[in-house]
Each structure stands twice: as structure tokens, then as C-alpha cells.
Amino acid sequence: MFRSKRNALVKRLWKHRVTKNEGDSPSETAEDLEIKSVAQSMLKRLEEKQLQLLVQSVESKGGETTDCVLLPKGDLKLGRRMVAPHILCCQIWRWPDISENVELKRLLCCSSVNDQSHICCNPYHWSILIKPDVQMPAHCQLDTERVKINTDRLMGEQESTETGLTPTAHRQYLTDTSSTAPRGPHWCSIAYWELRQRVGRLYPVFNPTINVFQLLPRGDGMSLEILQTDANLESVRRTREKIGIGIILSKETDGVWAYNRSQFPIFVNSPTLDDPDSRTLVVRKILPGYSIKIYDFDLAKLLENTRDPALLDGPYDPCSIRISFAKGWGPCYSRQFVTSCPCWLEILLNINR
């Protein structure tokens, strides 16, 4: 009975494997059979409870928060090559094209980061890391004394170009209107926009991570589904449907990160992702399953002290990040302004470091 239950769990897992092309024939190739043999050998080392966790994670496509699935560290032999267990799991259930050399980022929900003998093989505890190539301009090569700035100056009193509120006004707004909110410093506030209309109130974020989603099977965070709008535009409705389980924003030691766990790309503009020597807006496309540092603390300090005011075109907020869902904007897209995107977020940072 126990063996049949394990076999049923393994069959469910294999049913959800991801092929390189969605139109592939269901018949298994020699490579598929080899991967299946190695995977089955690997899965035999898991306890039944961990098998169930893996099934839950894979079947929900990361929509449900699940615990770590641990396997002993050590590469597995796959034909003539060796592959780490967590890489193999990601190849089978998420990204069949990734190589052993790809750099993965462990998400904050993964609690086994300090485990010296085991590695987490839950494929939805990992994301593909994007490392933007942000070149510092020549005028930023200054002595270290000029880089040591007052942290209060990082916040400044610049207005948000979309909300028209300064950071102080943000704090006052939250103090006056959010009497039931948890007390203590919030590290950011989130505004949800549909085209030029802000929908709902500012959402203060106190926890290190926040889910922003349209529909999430289990979990909490900022639900866009409950934010109703008067304008029933077709473009907004279609884009809302694509948001799905949305994104995760996290404040970590080195900066603020965004993880796209929806099925469609997101687009990001941030002061620390822009080209400091250009007036041209930089909008980064983030594919499903990818993570990117959308705000670098150290780079933000450097830019605050060295950015050339002559290059600033209009109001500028060094602590405001914009993320649009499914539709991009800027020089590379038909939409020139973020206010032309059907659904987008403005993240207003309130970080004192």
C-alpha cells in the first residue's frame, strides 16, 4: 500500500514535467528516459512527506507556499555529465533549457540556506538570477569620502512623479488613514495604477517580503482582485487576468528584489537600473521565474552623491520604482509612458540605512 502511494506521487510528478517545446510528442525520447531514470532514483531518497510537498509545489506552479524538499548534497550522474539535484529538479519541472552553469537565486521562503549537508530541491524555491550590466559613469569615480552620505539625504524630499507626495507626506498619509495598520516603520508603500488612475489606497509594507497578486490560491499580501475600478476597459481586464499569482517583492541586505512568479513578463524601471549618463529611460523585461535586484542600496547612495543634475529631465524621485504587468513602456515599446500601461505598480521606498 505504501509503495503504491509513493508510485502514485512519482507518476503525478512526472506528469507535470516541462518539455523544451510545448508541442512535443508525448512519446519519450532516449534523453527523456535517461532523465526519468535518474529522477526516479533521486526521488526514492525522499520521504513520503517530502514527496507530497514536491507534488504540491509543482502542481500549484509555486502558487502555494511549501517547505523545503531536502536531498544530500552531491552531483548526480546524468549520462556523461554530472548535475546537482536542485538543478535537475529545475530542469524537469521549470526550465528544461537551463545548464549547470546557470546562476540561481534562492528565494527568501527557502529556509535551508545554512544547511551544510543538504540542498533544497523544491524548484519553486529558486529563481533565475538577472545581473544587470549597469556601467558607472566617469564622474562617479570619486574618493570614498564623497560616497559617505547622510542616510536622511537618500530619502530627500523629492516628490513622486506619479502621486505627487513626498516621503514625509507618505508617512503622514499612512499615519492619518491607517489606524489599524501594524505600528513600526514600513520599508515601502505600494500604489496600484490602471493607466492614469490610481486604484485603492497606498499599501504600506512592514514584512521583508510582500506578495502582489490578482489571484493566489493560498497566501496573503496585496490582492489586486479586491481593488475594484469604475473603468471596465478591455485592456485592463485582459492584463488583470495575466497577473495571476503575480510577483514577490523582498527587502534584503543588499537591496530590494523582485521575483516574477506569474506566467507573463513584467517590466521594471528603477533609479539604480537606469543609465546615469543618459536621459533615455531604461525599462527591463523580467521573464517568468526570474529575479532581479530592482534597487541597489550601495549604488543608490553613490548616485545620490554623484548624479549630474543637468541630465535630469523634469521631476525625479530617487526612491520610486515602477513595475508594469505584461505590457512594457519606454523607448523600445509602443507605449512611451508608464501611464499608458493597463496595470502597473509604483513602489515608494521608505528605507533608512
> Is residue 199 domain-shared with residue 308, that is, in the same domain?
yes
Segment 294-319, tens digit of pLDDT: 999 999 988 887 766 666 666 678 89
Q: Of the residues 83, 99, 129, which one is the last residue of a structural domain?
A: 129
Band (pLDDT 50/70/90 cuts) for residue 134 is low
Q: Which of 42-46, 73-77, 265-269 has the highest mean pLDDT?
A: 265-269
Q: Distance between CA atoms of 45 and 180, rounded to whole angstroms?
A: 48
> Is residue 32 domain-shared with residue 175, that is, in the same domain?
no
> Is residue 120 domain-shared with residue 32, that is, in the same domain?
yes
User: Across the chain, what does the average pLDDT equal?
Assistant: 81
pLDDT at residue 308 in the model: 66
> Is residue 201 domain-shared with residue 343, that is, in the same domain?
yes
> Is residue 191 domain-shared with residue 325, that is, in the same domain?
yes
Helix (H) or strand (E) holding 7: helix 2-15
DSSP state of 309: G
CATH at residue 303:
2.60.200.10
Band (pLDDT 50/70/90 cuts) for residue 115 is very high
> Is residue 105 domain-shared with residue 76, that is, in the same domain?
yes
Band (pLDDT 50/70/90 cuts) for residue 268 is very high
> Is residue 55 domain-shared with residue 202, that is, in the same domain?
no
> Is residue 125 domain-shared with residue 142, that is, in the same domain?
no
Band (pLDDT 50/70/90 cuts) for residue 81 is confident
CATH at residue 85:
3.90.520.10
Q: Of the residues 111, 129, 147, which one is the last residue of a structural domain?
A: 129
> Is residue 123 domain-shared with residue 156, that is, in the same domain?
no
Q: What is the mean pLDDT of residues 146-167?
A: 37
Band (pLDDT 50/70/90 cuts) for residue 56 is very high
Segment 214-264, tens digit of pLDDT: 988 777 899 999 887 766 789 999 999 999 999 999 999 999 999 999 999
Q: Which of 12-26, 74-88, 91-105, 329-343 has the lowest mean pLDDT?
A: 12-26
Nearest to 92 by CA among 45, 132, 55: 55
pLDDT at residue 311 in the model: 64
Q: Distance between CA atoms of 82 and 97, rounded to whole angstroms?
A: 16
> Is residue 196 domain-shared with residue 315, that is, in the same domain?
yes
C-alpha distances in Å from residue 204, one per residue of 180, 192, 308, 327: 12, 12, 31, 25
pLDDT at residue 32 in the model: 72
Percent of the chain with pLDDT over 70: 78
> Is residue 100 domain-shared with residue 196, that is, in the same domain?
no
Q: Of the residues 78, 105, 129, which one is the last residue of a structural domain?
A: 129
In order, the DSSP letters of 170-226 are: HHHHHHHH-TTSPSS--SEEEEEEETTEEEEEEEEE-SSEEEEES--SS--SEESTT
pLDDT at residue 313 in the model: 63
Percent of the chain with pLDDT over 90: 53
Domain that holds residue 67: 2-129
Q: Distance between CA atoms of 308 and 176, rounded to whole angstroms?
A: 36
Q: What is the mean pLDDT of residues 60-73?
A: 92
Q: Cell 527523456 identifies what position? A: 32
